[in-house]
Structures are given as structure tokens and as C-alpha cells.
Amino acid sequence: MSLPTAGFAFRVDSVDGDARTGWLETPRAAVQTPAFMPVGTQASVKALTPDEVASTGARIILANTYHLWLRPGAESIASHGGVVCFMNWPHALLTDSGGYQVFSLAQHRTIDDDGITFRSHLDGSLQRLTPEEAMRVQALLGSDIAMVLDECPRGDAPRAEIERAMARTTAWAERCLQTEPAEGQARFGIVQGGTELDLRLSHLETIAALDFDGVALGGFSVGEPTARMYELLDRIAPQMPTDRPRYLMGVGTPTDLLRAVSSGVDLFDCVLPTRNARNGQALTWGGRVNLKQARHRDDQSALDARCDCSVCATYSRAYLRHLFKADEMLGPRLLSLHNLHFYGALMGKAREMIRVGELGPWVEATLAQIHEGDEIGVPDA
């Protein structure tokens, strides 16, 4: 592998079993890992200002290439100085490539070896996304880290389909590397392989041999059994390059994150904390809290006694429930702020436990507490 992209660096500081802490440095930010990246699909983390997102401890967020390519357009964003200037986010940014939309928008696209033709979900127009176009768009978006275009098969795809997706992803990765990135922009390769361990390890070897600044695991949390994902992560993550960031894409729940951290993963993203917040679900050290349940109507206690975010310091469960029942927009805003703060705190505590060599016992105790107090699926009081 050649020298890393100018202005981009990664180092590991401490190790506990397969888990590790480190620093990811980009031209805009220094990010402690393991780290969770809030998702700002359309240059906005839903319901929150950039300052509020930063207050949760986040120093890197994710934006969606496909959606920004369609609206307002990469050239328009570039005229404003890129996504970080457009949305006034002063820290690091990772952009996905549009590859996930191969899975999520399957009914709106056709795929061939050259690229993907999408029928826009906005106006029905046909749009062509190739590896070269994906990288051109991300260069205009000006992200710190650009992901290569890949094909993400569904979780229950047959082996032959997975192998075709792997071959296409490899070919596209090589084409992405032949394009010119924005100055200082790092590029990550993506490993596919479905739930087949041998395919995953084979594709990891192929992608890791290419000139990427980081390596990501794609194609998880797309319908496969969760236990199988954990099993595969335990086998695959420790085999990923030790000198580059390891990124698990689109995952997940607090349990997912802690299991993957234990396996050696450094970076995560997921819409879950903000999406669940908009539906009245808080994520806490004591499990999920459904604020729409009647049990919280007169509850004057904080949302989470162990949380030091401004929401838990200021508002009662009763008030938060009232906001949702009254359909006040402040409810989703406050819960989004809390949930992202919780994810930041979860990663911060994991880093602390890795440094002192106590991650394993802490993870087991934390997950037991989260599962024991979980309200989702429990009859209303």
C-alpha cells in the first residue's frame, strides 16, 4: 500500500482483545475511535442544528451522495464550498457512494457491469450512476472520506448473486481508484460477501490489497439474522488491516455497536437513534423507553438518571410524553439530541474500558442492564 492521503492519518493507541482505541485525523478534525457517525442524509441530521450535533460529542457525520446528487445537485453544493460549508458543519464528513441505494431502492433501479440506472424518486427522471460519477460527485461534495461505489445484495441473496456482487464491487473499486479525488479526500473500499464467511474473507483480502485509506464492511443489517452478523464480525473484523480504520456500514443498535467494538470495528453509522427518536423511542442505559406509553404520563423523573445530556438535566418523562402526544416538534428534537448524546457516551465509555483492559466484563454488564429494562414489547402500565 502507498502512503496515505495527505492530511489523513490513523493510529491505534490501545488494544483489549480484538477491540482497539485510536485516532482518525482528517484535514478538518481529529476523531477518537471507536466512534459513531450521526447520519445527515441530505446535509442535515434530522431535527438538529450542527451545533447541537457537535454537542453530543460527534466530530464526524455522514451525508448521502445519491440524495445530494439529485437535490440540490453536486455542482450547486460545490459552489457553496462543499457540504461542510453548505450546512455549516465545521468537523469531518464522510459521504457514502450511492451503493446502498442499490439495495434500498431496488424497485427504482437497474444494474449492469458499467453502473446503475436509477429512476429518480423525486421526479421519475432516469439518472446514471457509475463508479466514476460517484467519485466525481463526492469530490464536488468535498467530504473528508469518500466511499467507493459498490453493489449491496440483500441479506437472503443466493451465493451466486453474492459472488456477482463481489466481482462487480471489486471492478468498481478499481475504477474508483483511477479517478481524481478532491484535495485531501481519503477513500475507503467496501467488502461484500453476504453471510458466507469464505466469501467475506476472500473479498476482504482483495479489497485490503488495493490502495485505500480505510476498509469498510458493507452488506450487513440488510435482512440477515442478527446472531449471524455477530458471528461473522467476530471472524472477519480481526482480519481487517490493523493500520487502517475499520468501518461497519449502516449498523446499528447499542447492542450491535458494543458487539462490533469488541470485534475490533472503529467506525459506525446508522439512522436508528434519530429515526427512533422521531417515533417517541428513547435509547438509554436502562434500555429503550417508549415515551408514548401511559406509564410516563405523570412521571416526573428524568429520561435517564445516568445521562448528563441537557434533555435529561432539564425535562421530565411526563413533559416529553406530552410533547409527543400533542404532536409538538420539540419532542422529536429533544429525543434526537438525547439519543445521539447516548450513542456518543456509549462509545466514550467503550474507549475508556478498552484503555483499562476491562471492555469484555463492561459490555456484558451493560447489555444485561439494557436488555433487562427494555420497554419495547412490554405491555403498557
Single out the residue of 151, 146, 152 nearest to residue 179, CA to CA.
Answer: 146
Q: Is 370 exposed, middle or buried (0-12, 13-18, 19+ CB in 10 A)?
A: buried
Give the whole-angstrom CA distance, residue 116 versus residue 275: 28
d(CA 144, CA 157): 33
The H or E element spanning position 203 is helix 197-208
Active site residues: 96, 269
Pairing of strands 267-269, 109-111: unpaired
Q: Find, among 144, 243, 129, the residue nearest to 175 by Cα.
A: 129
- Strands in 1-158 per DSSP E: 9-16, 19-25, 30-33, 35-37, 60-63, 92-95, 109-111, 116-119, 126-129, 145-147
Pairing of strands 126-129, 145-147: unpaired
From first CA to last CA, the distance across the chain in angstroms is 59
Cα–Cα distance between 145 and 40 in angstroms, integer?
A: 14
> Are 170 and 207 a contacting pair, CB within 8 Å?
yes
Q: In 88-182, which residue ranges form alpha helices assigned H by DSSP?
A: 100-104, 131-141, 159-177
Bridge partners (DSSP) of residue 284 are 287
